[in-house]
C-alpha cells in the first residue's frame, strides 16, 4: 500500500538545488495523486532542527555543507531508533572519495540508505521518488493491525472471512480508541470524554460510541493531536462520517453476538456479507497506512539516567505480523513504564496507550501478545488477546497510577 501523504526533507547548502528538487517532487506528487509535505534545510543545524520539529519520512541529504557537519556526520547524529526514515545521500564528489562511505552506510543502514549522484536528471529524481514510495509502502503496520489483516488475507471459507473481517474492524477501532483516549489524557480533556460502558464485555457498538466521543473530544481541542492523520480519517471533512457509517452498518448487519456464538447461518449469507464489506474494509485498512509512521513499542529494560533526567531504555518495536520483535535503544527524558504500550512519533515523543492496549505474556500460550481492553469493571480491567485468552489487571485506587485513578470517572458507569 502506497502512502497517500508523506513528508520529505531536502537538505542542501545550494538553495537553487533545493528549489528545483522541490519543484520536481511537487510535479511527481501531482502525477501520483499524493500529498507530499516538503521541508528544506541549508545547513546541518537546520537539518537537525527540522527533524526535531517535523515528522519526516524521507531525507534527501547532501554530503557537503559549508562549515559544521557533513552528511555522513548528520546521519550519525540524527535520531531514528526504529529505522523509519529513508535516507538518500547526494553528492557530486569524485567516486573514489565516496566509495568507502557508501559501502559503510549500506552495511549500517541496509535498505534504508540510497545514494544519488549529482548532478542528476529528472528521470533519476523520478526513480528516487518511486524508491521513497516503495520504502514507505513496505513499512510494517502496528502488530495488532498487521496480524488481523494477515489472517483476513489467508481466510478461505466465507464464514472464516467474515470472522476475520470482524477482527480487522475491531483492531482498527480499538487501536484508534487507544490512541484517541491516550491523547485526551495528554491534552487534558479526559474528564470531558464521557464514555459510558456497561458492566460487561465492551461490545462493538460501545467501541464505536467511544471512538466518536473521543474523536470529537480531540477535535474540539486547540492542541496539536499526537496522530493528526487519525483525527483526519474520522473527520467529516475527509469522509470520516461515511467511515463511521460503514462501521455501524457492518456491526448491525453482522450482529456480533451471532458471530461470537457461532450462530450458524446458511453459507450464502456469509458470502453475501463478505461480498458486501470486504472491499470497503480493505480500503479502510489501507487508509491506516499512516500508522506505519508510529512504531508501537514496549519497554524491556530501563537504565540509570545517562545524564540529568535523561533515561536510556531498551525497547521492543511491535511492528509487523509477529515476533521476534527487534530491540532498540532510546534516550529520552520521558518516563516510560514497563508492560505498557507506547506509540512513538518520528520526532521523538511517546504516547502511552494504557489502559486500552497492553503487551504481556499470555499465561495460557506462554507467548507475549497484544491485549485489547475487553471489560472495564470498577475493580479490574479485563483484556483479551487474539488467542482468545484473557488477562486481568487490578485497578488500584490512590495515586499509584494516574490512569487507573482518573479513568473510572470517564470510562465506567454502572448504568
Least distance to Zn ion, CB of residue 49, Å: 46
Q: Is 136 helix (H, G, I), strand (E, B) or coil?
A: helix
Report the side by side order of strands in the sheet with 390-394.
357-362, 367-376, 380-385, 390-394
| Span of 180-188, 195-203, 252-260, 362-370 interacting with Zn ion by CB under 5 A | 362-370
* Total residues interacting with Zn ion, rule: CB under 5 A: 5
**CA–CA distance, 320 with 211 (Å, rounded to integer):** 24
* N-to-C CA span, the chain: 43
Phi, then psi, of 376 in degrees rounded to 5: -120, 100
Q: Cell digits for 73? A: 556526520
Least distance to Zn ion, CB of residue 158, Å: 26
Least distance to Zn ion, CB of residue 341, Å: 17
Under 8 Å between Cβ of 291 and 84: no
Under 8 Å between Cβ of 55 and 347: yes
Phi, then psi, of 339 in degrees rounded to 5: 90, -20
Residue 361 interacting with Zn ion (CB under 5 A): no
Q: Which of 35, 365, 396, 406 binds Zn ion (CB under 5 A)?
A: 365
Residue with cell 519526516: 56
The neighbour count for residue 394, using CB atoms within 10 Å, is 9
Binding mask 203-242 for Zn ion (x = CB under 5 A): ----------------------------------------
Q: Which of 364, 392, 397, 402 binds Zn ion (CB under 5 A)?
A: 364
Q: Which is nearer to Zn ion, 241 or 387 (CB)?
A: 387
Under 8 Å between Cβ of 286 and 109: no
Q: Which is nearer to Zn ion, 334 or 360 (CB)?
A: 360
Residue 389 interacting with Zn ion (CB under 5 A): yes
Residue 106 interacting with Zn ion (CB under 5 A): no
| Span of 81-89, 110-118, 272-280, 363-371 interacting with Zn ion by CB under 5 A | 363-371
Least distance to Zn ion, CB of residue 152, Å: 20
| Span of 40-48, 252-260, 383-391, 398-406 interacting with Zn ion by CB under 5 A | 383-391
**CA–CA distance, 70 with 65 (Å, rounded to integer):** 6
Q: Which is nearer to Zn ion, 21 or 385 (CB)?
A: 385
Residue 391 interacting with Zn ion (CB under 5 A): no
- Site residues for Zn ion per CB under 5 A: 362, 364-365, 387, 389
Amino acid at each position: 500500500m502506497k502512502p497517500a501523504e508523506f513528508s520529505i526533507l531536502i537538505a542542501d547548502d545550494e538553495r537553487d538545488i533545493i528549489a528545483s528538487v522541490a519543484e520536481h517532487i511537487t510535479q511527481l506528487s501531482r502525477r501520483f495523486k499524493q500529498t507530499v509535505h516538503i521541508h528544506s534545510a541549508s545547513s546541518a543545524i537546520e537539518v537537525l532542527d527540522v527533524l526535531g520539529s517535523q515528522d519526516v519520512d524521507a531525507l534527501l541529504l547532501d554530503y557537503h555543507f559549508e562549515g559544521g557537519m557533513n552528511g555522513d556526520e548528520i546521519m550519525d547524529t540524527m535520531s531514528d531508533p526504529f529505522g523509519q526514515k529513508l535516507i538518500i545521500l547526494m553528492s557530486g564528489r569524485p567516486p573514489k572519495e565516496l566509495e568507502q562511505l557508501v559501502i559503510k552506510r549500506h552495511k549500517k543502514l541496509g535498505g534504508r540508505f540510497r545514494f544519488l549522484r549529482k548532478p542528476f536528471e529528472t528521470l533519476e529524481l523520478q526513480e528516487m521518488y518511486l524508491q521513497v514510495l516503495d520504502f514507505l509502502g513496505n513499512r510494517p503496520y502496528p502488530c495488532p493491525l498487521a496480524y488481523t489483516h494477515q489472517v483476513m488475507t489467508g481466510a478461505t471459507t466465507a464464514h472464516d472471512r467474515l470472522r476475520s473481517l470482524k477482527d480487522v474492524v475491531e483492531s482498527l477501532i480499538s487501536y484508534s480508541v487507544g490512541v484517541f483516549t491516550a491523547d485526551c489524557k495528554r491534552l487534558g480533556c479526559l474528564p470531558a470524554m464521557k464514555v459510558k460502558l456497561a458492566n460487561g464485555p465492551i461490545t462493538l457498538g460501545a467501541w464505536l460510541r467511544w471512538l466518536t466521543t473521543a474523536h470529537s473530544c480531540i477535535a474540539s481541542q486547540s492542541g496539536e493531536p499526537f496522530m493528526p492523520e487519525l483525527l483526519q480519517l474520522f473527520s467529516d471533512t475527509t469522509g470520516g462520517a461515511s467511515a463511521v457509517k460503514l462501521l455501524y452498518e457492518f456491526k448491525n448487519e453482522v450482529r456480533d453476538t451471532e458471530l461470537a456464538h457461532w450462530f450458524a447461518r446458511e453459507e450464502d449469507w456469509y458470502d453475501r456479507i463478505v461480498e458486501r464489506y470486504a472491499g470497503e474494509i480493505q480500503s479502510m485498512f489501507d487508509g491506516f497506512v499512516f500508522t506505519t509512521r508510529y512504531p508501537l513499542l514496549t519497554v524491556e529494560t530501563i537504565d540509570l539516567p545517562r545524564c540529568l533526567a535523561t533515561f536510556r531504555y531498551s525497547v521492543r518495536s511491535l511492528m509487523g505480523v509477529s515476533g521476534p520483535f527487534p530491540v532498540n535503544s532510546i534516550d529520552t527524558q520521558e518516563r516510560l513504564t514497563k508492560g505498557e504500550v507506547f506509540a512513538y512519533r518520528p520526532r521523538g515523543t511517546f504516547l502511552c496507550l494504557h489502559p486500552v492496549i497492553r503487551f504481556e505474556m499470555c499465561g495460557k500460550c506462554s507467548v507475549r501478545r497484544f491485549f485489547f481492553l475487553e471489560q472495564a469493571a470498577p475493580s479490574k480491567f479485563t483484556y483479551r488477546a487474539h488467542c482468545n485468552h484473557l488477562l486481568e489487571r487490578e485497578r488500584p485506587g490512590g495515586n499509584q497510577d494516574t490512569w487507573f485513578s482518573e479513568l473510572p470517572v470517564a470510562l465506567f458507569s454502572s448504568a
